[in-house]
């Protein structure tokens, strides 16, 4: 029940946040000189009247405040207008792009969390050996490497060796594939971007997990478990790794932020038709309804991700429920 | 001493030469960074010879002019009929040392411009070495403007929230939570693309730095506010208040000196974000435009033409600089950077 109240409070905040972001983007976008149809004005084959008619059709001839009021009214029904470039509802364009971003983001997060936790516990266990020092070095180097640099390195690597396909989500040569063949092709396309996206996450999670596991290793319950003769694997999994879940999950905010920003850069770099690519294209086409839709979509994605992490934390770690009775 | 700290120390020490390279980039350059030469597109790095055209051994190293042998593939050969000796402190293009003292002397080069390209040239025949150094200067500029804005914004908001209390504090803290929950890069990209793109160098640097600071200030503000709340209970603050000190006086004389180490450490920890943000924005075509040399635009050219990667690899030179700079700045921040992940990806 507590989980539900905490989550519903979060959801109310989420709606406010999305509305604020959308409004800010709306007014910011009014600063741009010209609009979507400015390009066609300079095209001699389209008459001035046609351009004006198109502007009127999309309501671009009205004053800013009227446009804002109309836009706000349709927002209540989750309708963000039509994309001027794709001539489709913004909602469907954004949802499609969002799904593509998740194709990249979720595997990267999974890989980052799993590998980071595993390495973190190993780091804590082997702390005083030379492996521990290697871990120290590699993780600090990996934290310093931004996704942009990693992505470029991956591009250079792929172009040199030609082991990986570059650009888009599936090969064009794939005619009429079976599901397995399609999946294998998709994974082949995903390997490099997901790898680049997960490196900073692995390093970050590893750092936090290592610190938490070190603390857990000193706890009396671990010594008691060892004294009872429990197998080593069980001690590490249930007595060391599990209490260390909390610090990892409670930093999900910066983690998701990093993944979302990183995927924007990687999408542009690898021509992956996700949300970042959509935002980038929409900005250069001056397709403002789509820009606003994309910014709102990315905000929602981030906040919903954080909500999921909070809920997961409340479910997985009983201590958070007893102590505060509220979402963190 | 463990190797982790040794590497960190070396990286910290390396920050000083990096700063110097950025400050004296014009002096170290061999060519003007934006000098075009369309006969020298994608020329490879100059080879240094110890033999003159007649084949006689010379102690003074010399280079030859590159000439295109294949226009389609941009292949080059050396014109061996005339050699150009390399010397220290030759005269070259005019510039100002630190932007003040006019000078024409450079560190190393030939007497004639456009011959010696230590790291080759890019697609427009511009010298990659000089552009990389000038890019360091651009990054340093953004970095300095950025950390000043960041420190000011974070400290001011945190101090206001801590000193004022009440609803001011609530509003400001809600606002910082709000900013923390936003997708940083999407907003920076959208906001930057909506502002005019062809601005002067200084204005571009300012806008880039300001946008990054605008999405990254909350950790500093939250920390400053927490410290101020703690300091409100300190004996000397109470004494100052009892003697009738105004809040502004207490903040300035008693709180800011106590806050400074924390604020400084946080600001240094945020420094890599400004290099990175400038890099990403320039890479996405919304940062520095045109002929202004910056690492982001140089890296962008790597993805523009597939031949750059396979044949003209020297164009990837800023790559190493970027990695080195970010590593050094991260190690500079030390333990405060211990577990933080960049909101810019």
Which comes out higher in pLDDT, residue B186 or A244?
A: B186
Q: How many CB atoms lie within 10 A of CB A274?
A: 25
**Average pLDDT of span B321-342:** 74
Q: Is B256 on the interface with A (CB under 8 A)?
A: no
Tokens of A224: 């008691």
Count helices and strands (H / E) in chain B. 13, 7
The per-residue pLDDT string of chain A (328 residues; one tens digit each, 9 = 90 and over) reads: 666 777 787 778 777 877 888 888 888 777 776 677 776 777 777 777 777 777 777 777 777 788 788 877 877 777 777 777 888 888 888 898 999 999 889 999 999 988 998 888 888 888 777 787 788 778 878 887 888 888 888 888 887 777 877 777 777 776 777 788 888 888 888 888 999 999 988 988 888 888 888 888 888 888 898 899 888 888 888 888 887 788 888 787 778 888 888 899 999 888 888 898 998 888 888 888 888 888 888 888 888 888 888 788 878 777 766 554 444 4
Tokens of B38: 């369309």
**Which pLDDT value is given to residue B178?**
82
Whether pLDDT at B146 is above 90: yes
Tokens of B98: 């630190």
Q: Is B229 on the interface with A (CB under 8 A)?
A: no
**Average pLDDT of span B47-61:** 81
Which comes out higher in pLDDT, residue B189 or B54?
A: B189
Whether pLDDT at B335 is above 60: no
Nearest to residue B308, comparing CAs of B23, B74, B60, B31?
Answer: B74
**Average pLDDT of span B299-327:** 82
Centroid of chain to Cα A18: 16
**Which pLDDT value is given to residue A2?**
66
Q: Do B3 and A137 touch (CB under 8 A)?
A: yes
**Which pLDDT value is given to residue B334?**
62
Q: Is B304 on the interface with A (CB under 8 A)?
A: no
SS3 content of chain B, % helix, strand, coil (to 5): 60, 15, 25
ipTM over 0.90: no
Tokens 């590497």 found at: B7
Shortest CA gap B15–chain A (Å): 14
Phi, psi dihedral angles at B76 (to 5 degrees): -125, 150
Nearest to residue A155, comparing CAs of A270, A262, A265, A263?
Answer: A270
**Which pLDDT value is given to residue A1?**
61
Fold of A2-323: MetI-like fold (1.10.3720)
Measured between beta carbons, the chain A residues lying within 8 angstroms of B323 are 144-145, 149
Task: Report CA torsion sign: B288, B205, A149, A164.
Answer: negative
Spatial CB neighbours of A261, under 8 Å, sequence gap ≥ 6: A147, B183, B184, B185, B186, B342, B343, B344, B345
Q: Do A152 and B187 touch (CB under 8 A)?
A: no
Shortest CA gap B225–chain A (Å): 19
Phi, psi dihedral angles at A82 (to 5 degrees): -105, 145
d(CA A312, CA A246): 10
* 3-class secondary-structure state, position B13: helix
Measured between beta carbons, the chain A residues lying within 8 angstroms of B183 are 257, 260-261, 295, 298-299, 301-302
Whether pLDDT at B332 is above 90: no
**Average pLDDT of span B296-312:** 80
Spatial CB neighbours of A77, under 8 Å, sequence gap ≥ 6: none
Residues B65 and B82 sit within 8 Å (Cβ to Cβ): yes
Kindly report which listed range (A316-320, B11-15, B262-266) carries the lowest average pLDDT score. Answer: A316-320
Tokens of B294: 């910056």
Strand partners, B91: B105
Q: Are strands B87-88 and B108-109 parallel, antiparallel or unpaired?
A: antiparallel
Q: Do A261 and B183 touch (CB under 8 A)?
A: yes
d(CA B75, CA A42): 41
Q: Render pLDDT for B58-103 as a digit per residue (tens, 0 to 9).
A: 888 888 888 888 877 788 888 877 788 888 888 888 888 887 888 8
Spatial CB neighbours of B133, under 8 Å, sequence gap ≥ 6: B21, B22, B25, B28, B29, B33
**What region, left, alpha or beta, does residue B105 occupy, with left being phi > 0 and alpha being psi -120 to 50 degrees?**
beta
Nearest to residue A257, comparing CAs of B179, B183, B215, B340?
Answer: B183
Nearest to residue B131, comparing CAs of B17, B28, B280?
Answer: B28
Give the pLDDT band of residue B300 (cuts 50, 70, 90): confident
């Amino acid at each position: 029940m507590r989980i539900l109240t905490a989550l519903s409070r979060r959801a109310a905040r989420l709606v406010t946040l999305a509305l604020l972001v959308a409004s800010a983007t709306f007014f910011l976008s009014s600063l741009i000189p010209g609009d979507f149809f400015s390009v066609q004005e300079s095209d001699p084959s389209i008459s001035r009247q046609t351009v004006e008619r198109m502007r009127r059709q999309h309501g671009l001839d009205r004053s800013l405040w009227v446009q804002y009021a109309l836009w706000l009214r349709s927002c209540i029904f989750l309708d963000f207008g039509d994309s001027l470039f794709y001539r489709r509802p913004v909602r469907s364009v954004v949802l499609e792009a969002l799904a593509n971003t998740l194709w990249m983001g979720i595997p990267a997060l999974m890989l980052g969390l799993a590998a980071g936790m595993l390495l973190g516990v190993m780091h804590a266990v082997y702390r005083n050996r030379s492996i521990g020092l290697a871990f120290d070095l590699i993780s600090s180097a990996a934290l310093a490497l931004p996704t942009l640099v990693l992505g470029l390195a991956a591009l250079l690597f792929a172009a040199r060796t030609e082991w990986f396909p570059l650009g888009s989500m599936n090969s064009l040569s794939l005619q009429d594939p079976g599901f397995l063949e399609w999946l294998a092709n998709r994974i082949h396309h995903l390997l490099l971007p997901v790898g680049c996206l997960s490196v900073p996450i692995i390093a970050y999670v590893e750092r936090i997990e290592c610190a938490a596991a070190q603390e857990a290793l000193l706890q009396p319950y671990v010594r008691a478990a060892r004294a009872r003769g429990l197998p080593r694997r069980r001690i590490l999994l249930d007595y060391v790794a599990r209490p260390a879940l909390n610090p990892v999950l409670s930093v999900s905010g910066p983690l998701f932020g990093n993944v979302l920003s990183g995927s924007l850069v990687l999408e542009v770099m690898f021509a992956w038709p996700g949300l970042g690519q959509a935002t980038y294209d929409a900005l250069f086409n001056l397709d403002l309804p789509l820009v606003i839709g994309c910014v709102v979509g990315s905000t929602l994605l981030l906040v919903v991700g954080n909500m999921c992490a909070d809920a997961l934390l409340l479910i997985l770690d009983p201590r958070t429920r007893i102590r505060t009775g509220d979402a963190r | 001493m463990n190797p982790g700290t040794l590497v960190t120390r070396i990286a910290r020490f390396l920050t000083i030469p990096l700063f110097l390279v950025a400050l004296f980039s014009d002096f170290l350059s061999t060519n003007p960074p934006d000098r075009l030469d369309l006969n020298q597109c994608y020329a490879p790095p100059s080879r240094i010879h110890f033999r003159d055209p007649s084949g006689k051994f010379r102690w003074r190293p010399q280079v030859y002019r590159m000439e295109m042998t294949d226009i389609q593939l941009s292949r080059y050969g050396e014109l061996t009929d005339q050699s150009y000796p390399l010397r220290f402190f030759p005269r070259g293009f005019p510039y100002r040392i630190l932007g003040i003292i006019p000078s024409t002397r450079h560190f190393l080069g030939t007497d004639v411009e456009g011959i010696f390209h230590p790291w080759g040239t890019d697609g427009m025949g511009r010298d990659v070495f000089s552009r990389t150094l000038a890019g360091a200067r651009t990054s340093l500029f953004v970095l300095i403007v950025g950390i000043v804005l960041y420190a000011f914004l974070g400290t001011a908001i945190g101090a206001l929230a801590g000193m004022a209390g009440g609803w001011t504090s609530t509003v400001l803290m809600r606002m910082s939570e709000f900013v923390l929950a936003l997708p940083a890069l999407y907003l920076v990209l959208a906001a930057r693309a909506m502002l005019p793109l062809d601005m002067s160098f200084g204005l571009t640097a300012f806008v880039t730095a300001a946008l990054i600071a605008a999405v990254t200030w909350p950790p500093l503000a939250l920390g400053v506010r927490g410290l101020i709340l703690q300091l409100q209970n300190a004996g000397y603050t109470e004494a100052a208040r009892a003697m009738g000190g105004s809040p502004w006086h207490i903040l300035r004389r008693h709180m800011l000196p106590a806050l400074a180490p924390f604020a400084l450490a946080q600001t240094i920890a945020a420094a890599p974000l400004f290099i990175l943000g400038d890099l990403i924005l320039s890479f996405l075509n919304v940062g520095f435009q045109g002929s202004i040399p910056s690492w982001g635009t140089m890296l962008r050219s790597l993805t523009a033409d597939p031949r750059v990667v396979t044949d003209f690899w020297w164009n990837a030179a800023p790559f190493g600089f970027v990695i080195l700079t970010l590593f050094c700045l991260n190690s500079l921040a030390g333990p405060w950077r211990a577990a933080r992940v960049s909101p810019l990806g």
